[in-house]
C-alpha cells in the first residue's frame, strides 16, 4: 500500500500546531517575570516543569502501553485538547510560581500524548522511507518549539497573553486535524493487553539499547541549547554593547532552522545511511559545544549568529534518524511504547542539563559553561560507535 502523502502533511501540520505549546512559556518569560514578580531563574524551572510533566506522562503511557492499545489519533486529540487548556490557564493574573509550575507540568504531561504519539502514527503509515517521514515530523516539532519566539516578535504591540491564546488555539486545531483526517494506519499492530514489563524488556535487545543510548546523549544537549539560546544571544549583546539585537526573531531562526536540518538529514540518510548520518550530526554538534566559548570573543555579530544557526541545525538533525533506528529495532507490537519510554528517559536527562546550566549561570559569568553540553554527545557517539553489527528486527 502506497503511503498517502496528504496524510503525512496533515500529521506534520498537526505536530507543528500542538508542539507550539512546548515553549509557549519561554516565548513570554520576560513578561511573566514582570507580571508575576518572578526571579530570572524561573526560565529554567518553568522549562524543567514542562520536561518533568512530559517524563511522567511518557512513563504512564509506556507502562500502560497506551500508544499500542488505543487509537493513536484519539489519544493525540484528547491530549491536544487538555494541553491547550492548561497552557491557556497561564493568562490568569493571580498566579504564583507554584501554580505556574503546575500548569506547565500538566502541559508537559499532555505533550507525552502528542510528540511520541505523532511519531507512532507516522510509523503506522510509513513502513518504508520512515527516516524521511520522521524527518518532516521532527522538523515540525522544531518549528513548533521555535514558533512562540516568532509570535512574541510579531506581537510586541499586543498583550503577551496573545502568544498563549494563539498557541492554545493552534493545539486544538492540530488535535482536530488528527482526529477527523488521520484514521489508524495500515501498518498498525495493536497490542491487545497491558504489558507492564514492556518498557524494561525492550532494552535487552542490543540494537535498541545502542541507539537509545545515542539518543540519550543527544537529548543532554538539545533542549538545554534551545532553552538557553535567548540567554546566549542576550549575553553576547551585553558583552559587545549591542542594543539592537532582535533576540526573539533570532531565537526563532536559530531553533527553527533545525526543522529544515531534520528534513535534509532524512534525505541524506537515504544515500549515506541512517546511522552514519546521525553519527556525523552528533559529532558536529559536539564540536559546536566544545568551541562555543571561543565564539563569544568574536566581534562580528554575523559570524556569531551564523555559528548559532549552524549549531541549531546540527543539534537536532540526528533526532529523526535516531528515532527511526529505535522504531525499526523495536518489536512491532511495541513500537509506540518503545518510542515513548526512550523519549521519557531522554527528557529526564534534559532536565539535568537544563538545571545544571541554570545553576552555573547563577554562580559564574563564564561563557565556558556551554562546554558541559558536550558530555552528552561524547557518550552518545561512543554508544553509536559500537562495533557490534547493527541489524533491523523483523
Give the model confidence (pLDDT) of 221-247 as tens digits.
Answer: 999 999 899 999 999 999 888 888 898
| SS3 (DSSP) at 185 | coil
301-317 vs 247-272: helix crossing angle, rounded to 10: 50
* Beta carbons within 8 Å of 27's beta carbon, 6+ residues apart: 148, 149, 151, 152, 163, 248
| SS3 (DSSP) at 128 | coil
- The CB-side HSE value for 103 (13 A sphere, CA atoms) comes to 20
| Whether 258 contacts 264, CB under 8 Å | no
Q: What is the pTM of this model?
A: 0.80
392 part of a folded domain: no
- Residue 394 in this model has a pLDDT that exceeds 60: no
390 part of a folded domain: no
| Whether 365 contacts 239, CB under 8 Å | no
Cell of 109: 504531561
- Out of 166-175, 256-265, 332-341, least confident range: 332-341
What pLDDT sits at residue 1?
A: 40
11 part of a folded domain: yes
The whole-angstrom separation of Cα 156 and Cα 88 is: 19
What pLDDT sits at residue 356?
A: 94
Beta-carbon count within 10 A of 252 CB: 24
Above pLDDT 70, what percent of the chain?
Answer: 91
| Whether 237 contacts 245, CB under 8 Å | yes
Residue 390's pLDDT band (boundaries 50, 70, 90)? very low
Which domain CATH number covers 286?
A: 1.20.1250.20
Tell me whether residue 381 is exposed, middle or buried, using C-beta atoms within 10 angstroms of its C-beta: 0 to 12, 13 to 18, 19 or more: middle
Residue 339's pLDDT band (boundaries 50, 70, 90)? confident
What pLDDT sits at residue 2?
A: 46
| Whether 45 contacts 101, CB under 8 Å | yes
- Out of 102-106, 207-211, 302-306, least confident range: 207-211
121 part of a folded domain: yes
* Beta carbons within 8 Å of 145's beta carbon, 6+ residues apart: 19, 20, 22, 23, 226, 255
Q: How many domains does the chain have?
A: 1
Residue 317's pLDDT band (boundaries 50, 70, 90)? very high
Sequential DSSP letters for 340-377: HHHHHHHHHHHHHHHHHHHHHHHH---GGGGGGGGHHH
The whole-angstrom separation of Cα 16 and Cα 346 is: 20
Question: Nearest-5° angle of CA 49, CA 44, CA 349?
Answer: 65
- For 347-366, the pLDDT digits (tens) are 889 889 988 998 998 888 88
Residue 30's pLDDT band (boundaries 50, 70, 90)? confident
Tell me whether residue 92 is exposed, middle or buried, using C-beta atoms within 10 angstroms of its C-beta: 0 to 12, 13 to 18, 19 or more: exposed
389 part of a folded domain: no
- For 66-116, the pLDDT digits (tens) are 877 888 999 999 999 999 999 999 999 899 989 999 999 999 999 999 988
What pLDDT sits at residue 85?
A: 97
- Residue 198 in this model has a pLDDT that exceeds 70: no
Cell of 216: 540519550
| Whether 266 contacts 278, CB under 8 Å | no
Q: What value does the mean pLDDT of the chain take?
A: 87
110 part of a folded domain: yes
Cell of 125: 503509515
206 part of a folded domain: yes
C-alpha distances (whole Å) from 53 to each of 17, 113, 345 are 19, 11, 12
Above pLDDT 90, what percent of the chain?
Answer: 48
| Whether 31 contacts 160, CB under 8 Å | yes
What pLDDT sits at residue 4?
A: 66
- For 246-266, the pLDDT digits (tens) are 988 999 999 999 999 999 999
Q: Tell me the range of 55-64, 86-95, 328-337 where mean pLDDT is highest.
A: 86-95
Residue 343's pLDDT band (boundaries 50, 70, 90)? confident
Q: Which structural domain, as residue segments, surrounds residue 249?
A: 5-384
Q: Average pLDDT for residues 325-348, to the nearest whole number?
A: 80
The whole-angstrom separation of Cα 353 and Cα 368 is: 14
Residue with the larger pLDDT of the pair 376 and 137: 376
Amino acid at each position: 500500500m502506497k503511503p498517502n502523502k496528504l496524510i503525512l502533511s496533515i500529521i506534520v501540520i498537526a505536530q507543528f500546531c500542538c508542539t507550539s505549546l512546548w515553549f509557549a512559556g519561554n516565548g513570554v518569560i520576560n513578561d511573566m517575570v514582570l507580571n508575576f514578580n518572578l526571579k530570572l531563574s524561573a526560565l529554567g524551572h518553568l522549562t524543567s516543569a514542562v520536561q518533568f510533566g512530559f517524563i511522567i506522562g511518557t512513563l504512564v503511557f509506556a507502562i500502560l502501553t497506551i500508544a499500542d492499545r488505543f487509537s493513536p489519533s484519539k489519544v493525540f486529540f484528547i491530549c491536544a485538547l487538555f494541553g491547550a487548556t492548561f497552557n491557556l490557564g497561564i493568562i490568569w493574573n493571580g498566579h504564583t510560581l507554584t501554580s505556574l509550575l503546575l500548569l506547565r507540568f500538566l502541559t508537559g504531561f499532555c505533550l507525552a500524548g502528542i510528540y511520541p504519539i505523532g511519531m507512532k502514527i507516522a510509523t503506522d503509515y510509513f513502513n518504508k522511507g520512515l527516516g524521511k517521514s520522521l524527518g518532516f515530523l521532527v522538523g515540525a516539532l522544531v518549528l513548533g518549539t521555535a514558533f512562540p519566539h516568532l509570535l512574541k516578535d510579531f506581537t510586541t504591540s499586543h498583550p503577551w497573553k496573545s502568544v498563549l491564546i494563539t498557541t492554545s488555539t493552534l493545539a486544538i486545531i492540530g488535535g482536530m486535524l488528527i482526529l477527523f483526517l488521520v484514521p489508524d494506519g495500515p501498518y498498525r499492530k495493536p497490542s491487545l493487553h497491558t504489558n507492564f514489563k514492556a518498557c524494561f524488556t525492550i532494552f535487552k535487545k542490543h540494537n535498541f539499547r545502542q541507539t537509545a543510548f545515542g539518543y540519550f546523549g543527544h537529548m543532554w544537549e538539545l533542549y538545554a541549547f534551545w532553552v538557553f539560546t535567548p540567554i546566549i544571544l542576550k549575553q553576547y549583546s551585553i558583552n559587545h554593547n549591542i542594543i539592537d539585537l532582535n533576540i526573539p526573531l533570532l531565537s526563532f531562526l536559530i531553533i527553527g532552522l533545525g526543522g529544515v536540518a531534520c528534513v535534509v538529514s532524512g534525505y541524506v540518510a537515504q544515500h549515506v545511511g541512517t546511522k552514519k548520518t546521525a553519527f556525523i550530526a552528533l559529532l558536529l554538534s559536539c564540536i559546536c559545544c566544545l568551541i562555543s566559548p571561543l565564539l563569544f570573543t568574536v566581534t562580528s555579530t554575523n559570524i556569531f549568529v551564523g555559528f548559532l544557526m549552524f549549531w541549531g541545525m546540527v543539534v537536532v538533525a540526528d533526532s529523526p534518524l535516531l528515532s527511526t533506528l529505535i522504531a525499526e529495532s523495536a518489536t512491532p507490537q511495541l513500537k509506540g511504547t518503545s518510542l515513548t519510554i526512550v523519549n521519557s528517559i531522554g527528557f529526564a536527562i534534559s532536565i539535568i542539563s537544563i538545571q545544571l546550566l541554570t545553576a552555573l549561570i547563577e554562580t559564574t559569568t563564564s561563557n565556558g559553561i556551554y562546554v558541559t553540553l558536550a558530555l552528552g554527545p561524547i557518550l552518545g557517539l561512543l554508544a553509536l560507535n559500537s562495533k557490534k553489527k547493527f541489524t533491523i528486527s523483523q
